[in-house]
Amino acid sequence: MSAAILQGVPATTLDTDLWVELPARQYVRVLAVVQKLGGAILARTVVALKDDSLVNFLYRIDGIGSFGEEFELAKEVSLGGCRVRVLPIERIIASKRHVGRPKDIAHLPLLEQVLALLSKRGGGSRTAKRGGG
């Protein structure tokens, strides 16, 4: 839901999902970076960063395209002085609908409501569609 929050969905989440373009078997490489940054490893894909926020690393996301395909469609937002690419709300909806767990289904009405509001005004609230590069 972090990507949705950044795009204007009034929601909250207890962890941030980060999609990494690496085979899942290479998770150790990601964990090494986390350790270098002072984070704590809680599980193979779950870490607590230095500020105690939780991050969940994903190596695939079901119900949507490949990392490369989705990267091209991603929206770019500014966060913490960095440019961050996030899945557009419609792609988050596609993934949650595919996964279909109760907690994913529960998010759909709010996601769809905000998407409908944003669509009426022609796309993005205060996020820019990714430029080149």
Partner 1 sequence: MKKKFEIELKRLKREPGLDEHERILLARSLSATPQERWDAHENFLRSLGLFEHWKRKEFGFK
Q: Which positions lie near partner 1, rule CB under 8 A?
A: 5-14, 42, 48, 52-54, 77-80, 113-114, 117-118, 121, 125-127
Question: What distance in Å separates the CA atoms of residue 115 and residue 124, rounded to the nearest whole number?
Answer: 9
CB of 54 to partner 1, least distance (A): 5
Half-sphere exposure of residue 71: CA atoms within 13 angstroms, side-chain side: 10
Which CB sits closer to partner 1, 79 or 106? Answer: 79
Cα 50 to chain center, whole Å?
20
Which CB sits closer to partner 1, 6 or 18? Answer: 6
Which CB sits closer to partner 1, 22 or 116? Answer: 116
